Amino acid sequence: MTQQGNHQQDDKRQDSRQQGDAQRDGNGLPVRALGRQGLAVGAVGLGTMGMTMAYGTGDEAGSIATVRRAYELGVTLFDTAELYGLGTGSNEQLLGRAVRDIRSEVVIATKFGFDMDAPQNAEGYALNSRPEHIRKVTENSLRHLGTDYIDVLYQHRVDPDVPIEDVAGTIGELIAEGKVRYLGLSEAGPDVLRRAHAVHPVSVLQTEYSVFERAVEADVLPVVRELGIGFVPYSPLGRGFLTGAVKPAAEYPADDMRSWDDRWQPGNYERNLTAVRELTALAAGKGISVTQLALAWLLAQGDDIVPIPGTRSPRRLAENVAAADVALSAQDLARVQEILPEGAAGSRYPEAIMPTW
């Protein structure tokens, strides 16, 4: 294709993305494009990790009801993973049951990348992205979800022992076979993104991003935009800190990750709580919740961004979805930056499991 042809094609893609963001699905949620391969979803998705792990014990019936309510409100992107069932498939099974009769109307994203059969060490589960393991996990996920295709298949974490070219090539084969529709990566840096994208187009990158966590802004987001990759922020509400319903680490049970999360520890907790109170005051002045302010801030960072806040509460869910209709002014965005110029106090993960780019 000529250089002029490339520019014309890019212009058409940009026009398509702008039109997609302006569209709304039948339930009123704006639709956004993720990548240039045709994936389009509601502007706010739903993360399901907390329904089976990390945030205490969940209620299956209540979780399924939350997924169904999300769909009623216009959510079409639902995020799960092999890891979220700790190798049992429970999280994928829950989601599969919840969307069984609306499967063709939703986008299911799941992830591989850990060796759930190996014993855990200080760093958690060992990584495993060997091609044969990818295929094994994909078949398990298809069975657990009760579907014959996965919309987005993510590599959950980059495996330093397996070339990313092999990973992208294997998922490309699964796409050709009709078992997967789009390639996604999670917590991948610029070099890995470029190398994977050269083998097979990457549609989505999923990485932590919020007013609390801003590391992707310097080097990752520019490459995502250059390559035309959609961005899905996980933990967009700071693992619940940005809901305002928080308490010190010592008051959470041992099976809740906030009991050891650095941002909840003494010193960091108080600093972060002060910031959230200032954000809450800003939100109150606009007649919205601090949760809606945090999600609206993310949505304002680009029309290629679709956050996936997790919740087991239909009430919280409705509040999150309503953030798609919140418009923030330049003054609002400047005030958020003033309150949290570099994000939250404390590390997002312990050093032993911190993703590296």
pLDDT in tens, 68-92: 999 999 999 999 999 999 889 999 9
Q: How many CA atoms lie within 13 A of 312 on its CB side?
A: 17
State the Cα–Cα distance between residues 42 and 75, nearest whole angstrom.
5
- Residue predicted with more confidence, 286 or 14: 286
Asked whether residue 11 carries a pLDDT value surpassing 60, the answer given is: no
Say what the pLDDT of residue 4 is.
40
Residues annotated as part of the active site: 84
**Residue type for position 249:** A
pLDDT at 5: 40
The stretch 125-139 carries a mean pLDDT of 96
Sheet arrangement for strand 46-47: 46-47, 77-79, 107-112, 150-155, 180-186, 202-208, 230-234
What gap in Å lies between CA 216 and CA 289, rounded to an integer?
Answer: 25
pLDDT for 10: 38
Please give the span between the terminal C-alpha atoms of the chain, in angstroms, as a whole number. Answer: 33
> Which helix (H) or strand (E) segment is 186 a member of?
strand 180-186
Q: Of the candidates 55, 59, 87, which has an alpha carbon nearest to the alpha carbon of residue 246?
A: 55
Give pLDDT, residue 254. 84
CA 350 centroid distance within chain? 20
| 308 has a pLDDT exceeding 80 | yes
SS3 312: coil
**Among 140-144, 202-206, 214-218, 260-264, whose mean pLDDT is lowest?**
260-264
CA 1/CA 262 separation, integer angstroms: 51
Rounded mean pLDDT of 162-178? 98
What pLDDT score was predicted for residue 56? 55
Distances (CA, A) of 46 to 16, 105, 116, 200, 320: 24, 15, 24, 26, 9
Query: What is the pLDDT at residue 24?
Result: 52
Least confident range of 196-210, 234-248, 280-294, 341-355: 341-355
Percent of the chain with pLDDT over 90: 73
The pLDDT of residue 22: 43
- pLDDT top residue among 125 and 178: 178
Pick the residue with more confidence: 321 or 28? 321
Contact predicate 94/63, CB 8 Å = yes
For 180-190, what is each residue's pLDDT tens digit? Answer: 999 999 999 99
- Please say whether the beta carbons of 13 and 21 come within 8 A: no
- State the Cα–Cα distance between residues 348 and 195, nearest whole angstrom: 26
Work out whether the CA dihedral 148, 153, 156, 157 comes out positive or negative.
Answer: positive
| Residue 240 banded pLDDT, cuts 50, 70, 90 | confident
Predicted confidence at residue 17, as pLDDT, reads 34
- Phi, psi at 46, each rounded to 5°: -135, 125
User: What residues pair up with 114 in beta bridges, in sequence order?
Assistant: 127
Average pLDDT, stretch 238-252?
A: 87
- The pLDDT of residue 285 is above 90: yes
Q: Which pLDDT score, from 0 to 100, does residue 20 have?
A: 41
Q: How large a percentage of the chain has pLDDT more than 70?
A: 89
Mean pLDDT, to the nearest integer, of 273-286? 97
Torsion of CA 300, 305, 311, 317, to 10 degrees: 60
Answer whether residue 18 shows pLDDT above 70.
no
Mean local confidence (pLDDT), 315-319: 94
pLDDT in the model for residue 57:
59
**DSSP notation for 256-295:** BGGGT-GGGSTTHHHHHHHHHHHHHHHHHHTTS-HHHHHH
Task: Give the pLDDT band (50/70/90) at residue 242.
Answer: very high
Question: What 3-state class would DSSP assign to 201?
Answer: coil
Which pLDDT score is estimated for 185?
Answer: 98
